[in-house]
Amino acid sequence: MALSSVLQTHPAGFNFDNVARNSALEGLFEGGQTPKPLKTGTTIAGVVFKDGVVLGADTRATSSEVVADKMCAKIHYISPNIYCCGAGTAADTEKTTDLLSSNLSIFSLNSGRNPRVVMAVNILQDMLYRYHGQVGANLILGGVDCTGNHLPPRLKKLPARLAARQQIPNKFFNLNIMRLFFCSLSFRKIKYKYRPGTTAVLTEKIVPLKLEVVQESVQKMDTA
């Protein structure tokens, strides 16, 4: 094998080489059924319902054909109201979610409130796009904030949990572990919106303000 081919590295950025290949293969299956894609690797899922969000993930981490860890934590803590499922390169998902969590922690310390989900999404988009596909982190972000719960579709509580479980099948005979995370909107059951005049005025006092003009001058604006 030539040394040049051994040292050759993949160019930076996204790779769309398979797009042309798939388009060419579709012409070979005219009138027939195209082969279905094979699902491998990590399975993560997220479901939102009327009162919260359910996130689910398997726990198997692999290195090529070797099961490196059967108890890998793939649901990452972001903030008290936001969690994130991660798939891809374990180191990339850990570092990406840790950076996001630290940034939002600084915001919470400065503002004294929990961050919004859209804030976490914007930070993730900027962070991942900055490396143009070189960070192998495929993430599902979900949580609740003052604007509601974020992660479609909307289902009831029990079907949401079942739907998350059904999306993560027991694909391996030695894998009987699955983690589910449930984030509820219990702290936001009441909408605090009041019409003008709802609160009664108990007392009213009008104090006249006395002003004395000490100096007055008029200047014309130069419009030339």
Q: Which residues contact 97 (CB under 8 A, 6 or more apart)?
A: 76, 77, 78, 84, 86, 137, 139
The more confident residue out of 105 and 22 is: 105
| Average pLDDT value for residue range 156-183 | 54
The more confident residue out of 173 and 56 is: 56
The band of 154, judged by pLDDT with boundaries at 50, 70 and 90, is: very low
Kindly report which listed range (15-29, 60-74, 114-128, 137-151) carries the lowest average pLDDT score.
15-29
How far apart are the C-alpha atoms of 62 and 68, rounded to whole Å?
5
- pLDDT on residue 198: 76
Phi, psi of 212 (to 5 degrees): -125, 120
| Average pLDDT value for residue range 183-202 | 65
| Average pLDDT value for residue range 166-193 | 54
- pLDDT on residue 157: 45
Q: Are 80 and 87 in contact (CB under 8 A)?
A: no
Phi, psi of 61 (to 5 degrees): -110, 130
- pLDDT on residue 78: 93
The band of 158, judged by pLDDT with boundaries at 50, 70 and 90, is: very low
Write down the pTM of the prediction.
0.61
The more confident residue out of 70 and 77 is: 77
Name which of 125, 117, 140 is nearest 44 in CA terms: 140
Catalytic residue among 9, 34, 42, 59: 42
What is the side-by-side order of every strand in the sheet holding 137-145?
Answer: 75-79, 82-88, 137-145, 148-150
Question: Does the pLDDT of residue 169 top 90, yes or no?
Answer: no
Q: Are 88 and 42 in contact (CB under 8 A)?
A: yes
Structure tokens at 18: 């398979």
How far apart are the C-alpha atoms of 42 and 27, rounded to whole Å?
31
Q: Is 34 a catalytic residue?
A: no
> Between the ranges 13-22, 126-135, 208-217, where is the mean pLDDT highest?
126-135
> Between the ranges 28-32, 56-60, 98-102, where is the mean pLDDT highest?
98-102
Q: How far is CA 182 from the centre of its chain?
A: 15
| Average pLDDT value for residue range 39-49 | 80
| Average pLDDT value for residue range 150-161 | 57
Question: Does the pLDDT of residue 173 top 60, yes or no?
Answer: no
CATH class of 44-188: alpha beta
- pLDDT on residue 123: 92
